[in-house]
Chains A and B, each alone.
Chain A
Amino acid sequence: MAGVSRARRVRWLAVPLLLGAALPALGQVNLVGHWTGQYHEDQPDRLPGPELGDYGGLPINAAARMRAEAWSASILSLPLYQCRVHPVDYASSFAEIRIWEDVNPTTQELIAIHVQHFAWNTVRTIWMDGREHPPEYAQHHAMGFSTGEFVGQTLRVRTTHLKEGWLRRNGVPRSWNGTLTEHFTRHGDILTWHVYVDDPAYLEEPFFRNRDYTYDAEGRMGPYPCESVIETVFPKGYFPHYLPGQNAFLVEYSQKHGIPYEATRGGAATMYPEYRKVIAALPRPEARAQ
C-alpha cells in the first residue's frame, strides 16, 4: 500500500462493507421455482375433498360449528359462489405453487416474494421491504396482506386483512378477523410450509397446518379458468343452508367410518393424541342407532 494515503486506504476498505450492506441478508434462502405438492399428505381432504360433517382435528368453537352445520354444498351451484378462490391459508395446501422474487436490480435488495397457487391461479405478494400493514379500514382480500422476513433459513410471514375463508371445504369458517403466521423452510429440494391460523371469532386455539413440496425444475403451471354459469334457476336472493337440527347429512361421516359422532364435531381437544382415550369411551354410531 506504499504511496496510498491513509484516507484512501480507508475508502478502499469501506467498499466491501458497502457492498455487503446491499447484498441479501445472511441466511436468506432462495425459494424461487416451481414446487409440486405431496398429495399423500391429507389426501382425502385435498383431492376428493372433505366429507360432510367431518370437523375432527379442527380447534373450532361452538359458533364455528353452528355455521358449519348450516352449510349446504348447494352453495357451489350459485353463480356468485362458483368462482370464489381458495383463501391464502388454504390455497397453498391445495396443489402446486410457483415462487418468484422482485429484486431491485441496482441494490439487489429483495422487495417482494410472490407465490402463485395452481388453484384459481391466485397470486399472493409477500412484502420484504419493511412496509407497514394497511389500516383496519383498508380492503381485505382472499390473499390478505403479507409481510415477511428471514429468520435463519426460514421465511417467516405475517398476514392480515383476510377476507372470510374456510379451514375445510365443508363449511368450516375462518373469519376476516383471522391472522396468519407462516413459515417457508427449504431443505434442498424439499420446501415445507407451515401456517398458524389465529381466529378469535371461530377458533378455541390457533389452527396449524403444514405441507411439503418438491422442487420441479421442469414444472409449468397450467391455467385455471373459471366462468360462472347458471346451473339451476333459483329465486332472487336464494341462499341454500340448513336450519338448526335439520342437516341430515351430518351423521354420514360418523356412520360410514364408525367414528363416534361427538368426535367428528371438532374442538381443540380433538387435535391432541390424548383424545384417543376420550373416543374409546364414546358410543359408536351403531350403539347410538340402537
Chain B
Amino acid sequence: MTPARAARLLSLPVLGCAGLLSAVHAAAQAERNFDEVEIHTLHVRDDIYMLVGAGGNITVQLGDDGVLLVDAQFAPLAPKIIAAIARLSSKPIRYIVDTHYHADHIGGNANLRLAGNTVTGGNMPGAVPYAEGGGAQVIAHENVLLRLSGTLGTDAEVPTGLWPTNTFFDAEKRLFYNGEGIRIIHVPAAHTDGDVLVYFRHSDVVSTGDVFSTTGWPVIDLEAGGTYQGLLDALDAVVDLIIPVYGQDGGTLVVPGHGRLSGLGDVLDYREMVIVIRDRLRSMIDAGMTLEEIKAARPAMDYEPVYGTSTSFWTTDEFLEAAYKSLSEQQ
C-alpha cells in the first residue's frame, strides 16, 4: 500500500472505507453533511424500487418473503434508508447483495444487516454466524470478502460488520426469492475483480453496480483488479441480459451504479463511448505516444461534455491514466 493510499484509508475509519477509489470517493462524500442527504424512492417496476441518496443506487425488491437490497450506500445514511424501506414494506430485510466492495456501496452493510434477519431453522442455529441474531445475509463475490478482510490486495481490513456473510467464487449464484429467480452474475476484472450484476428475471430489471453509470467516465480500479476490457465485457454482459420493447423505450430496465434509471439505449450509448475511446487509445499506444501526449491530444474530447469532469471524483485525466495503463498492459 502506498503511503498516500494508506493515509486516505486511515482517514476514514468510521466509514470503513475500502479501496483507493472508494476512499477518494468516500473522502469527497465525507465532506458533505449526511444530515442533508435525502433518500428518494423511485418505482422501477412491479415490486422493484430504486433508492437514490449519496453513494451508489440501492435496488429494493419487495415481497411476502421479505426485503432484498442490492447495495447499501454509506453507513451514516442507514437510518434514512431503513425508514425509506419501511415506507414500502413492513417485512424485514433478509438479503443484501453487494455489487462490489467500494465504501459508497457497502458502507451501510452493518446497520442495514442488523435491521433485518435471516430465516433460520433446522441445523442452522449455531452453525452459521448470521443465524444467531446476526441480521440479514450479505451476499457478494468472494473477492469482496477477500478485499474487505485485507486478505487480497493492499487495503487494510475493515470492521467485520461490513463483510459479506455469504460468498460465491464461481460465475453465478442463483436465488429464488419473493416469487422470482434472481441471477447474481460475476463479471470478472471489470470495475474491480468482484463485480456482480443482479438480474431479477420476472421483474426484468438488472442492477449493474458500477460497471455502468450515467454520471461519469467508467471507473477502472486497477489496484482492485479492474481492467478496461473487463469493464467493456461486463457492459456486453448487461446488453446480453436486455430485451427491449419495440423502439427501445421499454423492456428490461437497468439500475445503474450511479445516475438515472436506464434502458438499453442508455447502456448502448455508454458502451459506444467505452469502445470508441478504447480504440483511439489503442491506436495512440500503438503509435508510441506517451500518456502525456495522449492526454494533450484529448482523445475523449467529444464525450467530455457528457461524462467528463476536471474537479470532482474521477476526472478525465484520471480516467485516461487508468485506461492507458490498463490497455498498455493488454497490448
A244–B301 Cα distance when bound, in Å, is 11
Q: How many A-B residue pairs have CB under 8 A?
A: 97
* Tally of A interface residues using CB under 8 Å: 38
Interface residues on B, range: 35 or more
With a cutoff of 8 Å between Cβ atoms, the chain B residues found around residue A176 in the complex are 214, 266, 269, 306
CB of A80 within 8 A of CB of B50, answer: no
CB of A239 within 8 A of CB of B272, answer: yes
With a cutoff of 8 Å between Cβ atoms, the chain B residues found around residue A201 in the complex are 305-306
Tell me, yes or no, whether B276 is within 8 Å of chain A by CB: yes
A241–B301 Cα distance when bound, in Å, is 15
Q: A164-B265, A164-B269, A244-B280 are in contact. Are A85 and B260 (CB under 8 A)?
A: no
With a cutoff of 8 Å between Cβ atoms, the chain B residues found around residue A61 in the complex are 305
- A237 nearest in chain B by CB position: B236
With a cutoff of 8 Å between Cβ atoms, the chain A residues found around residue B263 in the complex are 139
Tell me, yes or no, whether B262 is within 8 Å of chain A by CB: yes
Q: Which of A80, A239, A241 contacts B264 (CB under 8 A)?
A: A80
Closest CB in chain A relative to B293 CB, distance in Å: 14
With a cutoff of 8 Å between Cβ atoms, the chain B residues found around residue A80 in the complex are 239, 264, 268
With a cutoff of 8 Å between Cβ atoms, the chain A residues found around residue B232 in the complex are 237
CB of B301 within 8 A of CB of A66, answer: yes
With a cutoff of 8 Å between Cβ atoms, the chain A residues found around residue B279 in the complex are 241, 243
CB of B301 within 8 A of CB of A63, answer: yes
A175–B316 Cα distance when bound, in Å, is 18
Closest CB in chain A relative to B43 CB, distance in Å: 10
Residue of A80, A141, A143 with highest tally of chain B CB at under 10 A? A80
CB of A139 within 8 A of CB of B269, answer: no
CB of A141 within 8 A of CB of B42, answer: no
With a cutoff of 8 Å between Cβ atoms, the chain B residues found around residue A164 in the complex are 265-266, 269
CB of A122 within 8 A of CB of B247, answer: yes
A83–B264 Cα distance when bound, in Å, is 12
A84–B259 Cα distance when bound, in Å, is 22
CB of A70 within 8 A of CB of B276, answer: yes
Tell me, yes or no, whether A135 is within 8 Å of chain B by CB: yes
Tell me, yes or no, whether B248 is within 8 Å of chain A by CB: yes
Tell me, yes or no, whether B8 is within 8 Å of chain A by CB: no
Closest CB in chain A relative to B242 CB, distance in Å: 9
Closest CB in chain A relative to B97 CB, distance in Å: 20
- A246 nearest in chain B by CB position: B283
Tell me, yes or no, whether A67 is within 8 Å of chain B by CB: yes
Closest 8 CB pairs of A and B: A201-B305, A66-B302, A67-B302, A139-B261, A85-B247, A239-B275, A137-B260, A63-B302
- Residue contacts A-B, CB under 8 angstroms, 26 given: A63-B301, A70-B276, A80-B268, A81-B268, A85-B248, A85-B249, A120-B247, A137-B42, A137-B259, A139-B260, A142-B249, A163-B266, A176-B306, A177-B305, A201-B305, A201-B306, A236-B236, A237-B232, A237-B233, A237-B275, A239-B271, A239-B276, A243-B279, A243-B280, A244-B280, A244-B299
Given known contacts A80-B268, A142-B248, what 10 new A-B pairs fall within 8 Å (CB)?
A63-B301, A67-B302, A70-B276, A85-B247, A137-B40, A137-B42, A139-B263, A164-B266, A176-B306, A237-B275
